[in-house]
Amino acid sequence: MSDLQTITETLITGDAVKLEELVKKAIDAGISANDILQIGLIGGMDIVGSRMESGEMFIPEVLMSGRAMGISVEILKPLLTGGQASSAGKVIIGTVKGDLHDIGKNLVVMMIESVGFDVVDLGVDVEPEIFVDAIKEHQPNLVGISALLTTTMPMMQKTIEAIKESGLKDSLKIIVGGAPVNQAFADEIGADAYAADAGSASKMAKELCVR
Amino acid sequence: MFTVIGERINTTLKKVKAAVADRDVDYIQNDVKQQTAAGATFIDVNAGARIGHEEADMRWLLEVVQGATDLPLCLDSPDPAILEMAYGLVERKPMVNSISLEKDRFESMIKYLEGKECSIIALCMDDSGMPKSAGDIIARAHSLVGELEKIGFKRDDIYLDPLVQPMGVDIINGNMAMDAVRTIMTELEGVHTTGGLSNISFGLPQRRIVNRVFMAMMIASGFDSAIMDPLDKDLMALTLTADMLAGNDDYCMNFIRATRSGAIVS
């Protein structure tokens, strides 16, 4: 098995210590940091995301892999070349105004970062105007909107309308999620995509941001 | 005795939503009768999932549900206007679901509750977000009880919800809920605790066993009510057994009766 394949498999097991050793070994063996990141680590998180979506892997395991990845990425950071060009894209994400739930959103942030995106997390209880201001400031490729209460689902619609009114909607894609949300609702409010969990969100983010 | 708040009449459930949309009286009444026979203490009624239809749906449900049971209702809505209408239509003293310390909710709900004869579910939630420790939950519980007592509520009518969070996200979450309940039941003697426990297993495999064992552990910590499915025979049997083991069942009589009726088979 190649060094990069072993890295991918170790990432999936969530063994942070072993992964760090393997990453250092790969660097010493002359494998490029970018390849280690893109093929070894991000490739591994893509698989984790798929397994999460299919129900084969569970939240604690996804968190362990995410943590292991984070530690290894810190080692790679000073060696990476290309800066912005090596990022998969920029994402802004938040939970809508009136809603304080963030567990799902935080998992999405972790997964999306792990598969190579730069993420700006606006937090919870985010007014539509704040989403719009953040879009103006960061010019993202993708905006993620989350809500967990049936009572705050209408606020998702208001947020999308605010983005439309600001004239910025055509420059980005909008993805929505949260327990009471479904594809029908996403279509109704004009979102570009709906993701049922962090795994499918990260896959969808890549599909929506094909450069 | 453990208070079972039957959770099934909720429009977020696909079949219920369809029955409400179609005004299917039989479906709803059948379900309510089953919940009643299975030992529910309250029947929760939530009409919030059909956006724009909540008032008409709630009106219809209140009539249909009360036609099928003599149990008191738990009125479940975030909208004080809906709760006001619902309060006027109930035949027995209801439970109201819910109040919290979140600014938007708190002010309007305190106003609603003034002068009403009801019990109240109080969520240990404020604008700073989900609780991060048992201390957070306990502090919020004290605030809620203080405010409710100010407007004349008795502790026996207050049901505090500690806001159970998933183990899969942080392994302190089980103990956080249990420690909070234990402390609340001692420091705020006379109140009740309640809530839906299934959040505990979110993100884990084999959710059913996680939910069941957690119910037993929460009851051991003093938890004395739950929003649950009375038609889940195993869960009801477990709840009754745990409640007996916690010393809440004189002469173990409810337990013994339940084994004779076939409600508990092990």
pLDDT, residue A85, reads 53
* Separation in Å, CA of A58 to nearest CA in chain B: 6
pLDDT at B52 over 90: no
Q: What percent of chain B has pLDDT over 90?
A: 93
| Long-range own/partner contacts, residues A126-133 (CB < 8 A, 24 or more apart) | A126/A94, A126/A95, A126/A96, A126/A97, A126/A159, A127/A97, A128/A97, A128/A155, A128/A158, A128/A159, A128/A161, A128/A162, A128/A163, A129/A162, A130/A94, A131/A92, A131/A94, A131/A159, A131/A162, A131/A163, A132/A162, A132/A163, A132/A166, A132/A168
Q: What is the ipTM of this complex?
A: 0.85
* Separation in Å, CA of A150 to nearest CA in chain B: 6
- Determine contact, residues A156/A186, Cβ cutoff 8 Å: no
Q: Is the pTM above the cut of 0.95?
A: no
pLDDT, residue B224, reads 97
Range of weakest confidence among A108-122, B176-190, B215-229: A108-122
Mean pLDDT computed over B183-190: 98
| Chain B CB contacts of A59 below 8 Å | 166, 168-169, 202-204
> Among all chains, which residue has been given the structure tokens 């309308």?
A161
Cβ–Cβ gap A153/B169 under 8 Å: no
| Type of residue found at A178 | G
A154 in reach of chain B (CB within 8 A): yes
pLDDT, residue A1, reads 67
The DSSP secondary structure of B162-220, one letter per residue, reads -----TTT-TTHHHHHHHHHHHHHHHTTT-EE----GGGGTTSSSHHHHHHHHHHHHHH
- Determine contact, residues B180/B124, Cβ cutoff 8 Å: yes
Instruction: List the pLDDT tens digit at each of the 211 positions of chain A.
Output: 689 999 999 999 999 999 999 999 999 999 999 999 999 999 999 999 999 999 999 999 999 999 999 999 999 988 887 665 568 899 999 999 999 999 899 999 999 998 889 999 999 999 999 999 999 999 999 999 999 888 888 899 999 999 999 999 999 999 999 988 989 999 999 999 999 999 999 999 999 987 5
